[in-house]
Amino acid sequence: MRPVLEWLKALVARPWARVALGVVLVCALAGGLAYAFRDNLARYALKPRAEFDRANAPPAPDYTNDGAWAMLPKKPLLKADLFFVYPSIYFGWDGWNSWIGDEAVRDRLVGDVVPLYAGPFADAANIFIPQYRQASPFAFMTHNRSAQGARLLAYEDVEAAFKNFLSARNGNRPFAIAAQGQGALYAVRLLTTVVAKDEAVRERFLTAYLSEIALPLEEFERSLKPLEPCQEPEQLGCINVWHSAQAGARNDLPRTSFPVWDDATRFTTTRGRSLACVNPLTWTLDGRAADESMNSGAAQTDHRNQSGVSLSAPRSGADCWNGLLFVDEQPPPLFTFTGPRYRDLYPPRVNLFFENTRQNFQRRLEAYRQATAL
């Protein structure tokens, strides 16, 4: 030990060694501070540089034009449709809302998100995915006027696309809605303002799969009625909703700060409200805990496969508790890591319930066929 100490003492006596040691210590300190304050750094990096101004927003898409859609089905058509609203894939550096036709956004959507989260429906449904002027992720880190304006602008696009889908593209086929994260927030509003209020539309509505959204249970009585949370694996006209969590994680964003529609133009938050949770392994509301043996398989992005994903063995059970879906593994975000508080803003890079979702959609579609002799 003594020779080592003597060597270190001699090394430190040299000027260049003292400089190098200082650089190492500064870098270590900077790295430690960056890690400790990574949530704050994410907020700073993702914050748009100007306030939201509708007059300066990107031009609105025209959904009568096929070019406004990220994905439309190829003929011959299947007998059911899926309307998919994608999660956060826009980083927000250019402003509060993304531009239609942004190639980077489109590449993330088509290359990663669609295979993972629309893929479970591809065998049984025609998939319709509108591009929309997505809100910056910073719009989910704050609830100020700019954030609310950005969310409302994004929703207006989604609603316009959905109405075009129903009137000009759906052809009276049964349909489901699937959405994740930010997209699920807008899907809830679609269900409230369009599906819940139109009996003819509800007759063709199979179900909704809304993942990574915190939705107060009371909304089913306040705004979504007569739609209900799903309570059976083959129930029709209901909503599957969950927000995943992991024991020991912060989990405070869904419980306290996730935006909730208050009316057509305002939002509240989930703070102090009981949340709805449908277990994607049992497909029941706040159902029994399901272990890994009930999971039929996960999926992750794999650009080598034609489907865009590779299936893997089951990786998690699931348990609805206190309004959140507790899982054994919470995969990291698909695109970027923002820190523990905001990691849920981007979609997970593994779809833990890919195969269960695929099987369940086919079960509900078969139940619809039997009920209507489709």
Q: How does pLDDT run across 9-53, given as a tens digit for each residue?
A: 555 566 654 555 455 544 444 444 333 444 545 555 678 888 999
Residue, of 144 and 315, whose pLDDT is higher: 144
The mean per-residue pLDDT over the stretch 233-238 comes to 98
Q: Where are the domains of the chain?
A: 46-372
Residue, of 17 and 350, whose pLDDT is higher: 350
Check pLDDT > 60 for residue 220: yes
Whole-number pLDDT of residue 365: 97
The closest alpha carbon to 64, from 201, 191, 156, 163, belongs to: 163
Over residues 119-142, the pLDDT tens digits come to 999 999 999 999 999 999 999 988
Strand-pair partners of 130: 69
Whole-number pLDDT of residue 166: 98
Whole-number pLDDT of residue 27: 40
* 226: preceding bond cis by omega (within 30 degrees): yes
Q: How many CB atoms lie within 10 A of CB 32?
A: 10
The mean per-residue pLDDT over the stretch 150-172 comes to 98
Phi, psi of 204 (to 5 degrees): -100, -5
Give the up-direction half-sphere exposure of residue 54: CA atoms within 13 A in the CB hemisphere: 8
What is the percent of the chain where pLDDT is above 70?
A: 84
Check pLDDT > 60 for residue 309: yes
Mean pLDDT over all residues of the chain? 87
Whole-number pLDDT of residue 36: 40
Over residues 69-89, the pLDDT tens digits come to 999 999 889 999 999 999 999
Label residue 333 by pLDDT band (50, 70, 90).
confident
Check pLDDT > 60 for residue 272: yes
Label residue 338 by pLDDT band (50, 70, 90).
low
Helix, strand, coil share of the chain (percent; to 5): 40, 20, 40
Q: How many CB atoms lie within 10 A of CB 303?
A: 11
In the chain the first and final C-alpha atoms are separated, in Å, by: 82
What is the percent of the chain where pLDDT is above 90?
A: 62
